[in-house]
Amino acid sequence: MINTFNYINSNIKRGIPITLGQIEVPKNKIKIDYPSYTISSREESQGYSSYRADSERVEVLANVFPVFLFAVAALVSLTTMRRFVEEERTNIGTFKALGYGNGSIAIKFLLYSTSAAILGASLGYTFLPNLIIKAYLASSTLGSDYQLNFAWGPLLISLIIALLATTAVSMLTLYQTLREKPVALLLPKPPKNGSRILLEHIPWLWKHMSFSAKVTARNIFRYKSRMLMTIFG
């Protein structure tokens, strides 16, 4: 076949006419290998396996991160509402002295904490799924033609947990203040009674600590919520 091609090409360059018989090549001289095919399943596709691995990582993070974030939310709510109640201590005492019930006073704090939980759940439900899916689709070829299906069960569970982490913690903090008499609430909150901490019962360690270290140790043991807020918040 190669010799025939070279012969025809040489005659064309020299201007010698070529007949159809010279162009035709016998079929038995044409040797073309049959094509080979490689068949792989969808699971063996690199793009599919990469997308599946990303989905599994997101699933693992979705099981771990909410627990940590809800714990931080409860801690933040506890610290914020405790400070908020202390700032409103005189107003609470005034309302109680004027005859307002505990329920009427608690509505203000209830709305404050509940609105934070509902607003956070709404924003997370609306914006976070699109942000996460767009971040993972940036490295894939699925395109933008996708549809998100939300699971209402986990959403309601997360909303209930968010309400417990904010509203329940806030009401627990407020309940301790509402138990006091109006006269006591109109006065500044008395400081906590001083008590010896654990390190003070270890003389050989306590006496070698500096003054600033002793003050820091007392604050850590007496204000545990602030310590946790500093570490995890």
Residues 136 and 57: their CA atoms lie apart, in Å, by 11
- pLDDT bucket at 50, cuts 50 / 70 / 90: confident
Does residue 162 sit in the same domain as residue 209?
no
**Residue 62 CA from chain centroid, whole number:** 7
Q: Is 67 within 8 Å of 74 (Cβ atoms)?
A: no
Average pLDDT, the chain: 75
Q: Is 110 within 8 Å of 170 (Cβ atoms)?
A: yes
Residues 128 and 116: their CA atoms lie apart, in Å, by 17
Closest CA to 140 of 41, 40, 60, 46: 46
Domains: count for the chain: 3
- H or E, element range at 54: helix 46-87
Does residue 170 sit in the same domain as residue 125?
yes
- H or E, element range at 75: helix 46-87
pLDDT per residue as tens digits for the range 57-105: 878 887 788 778 777 777 777 778 778 888 888 888 888 888 888 888 8
Does residue 59 sit in the same domain as residue 174?
yes
Residues 157 and 139: their CA atoms lie apart, in Å, by 32
Does residue 147 sit in the same domain as residue 201?
no
**Full residue range of the structural domain in which residue 18 is found:** 1-34
Does residue 168 sit in the same domain as residue 206?
no
DSSP letters for 89-110: HHHHHHHHHTT--HHHHHHHHH
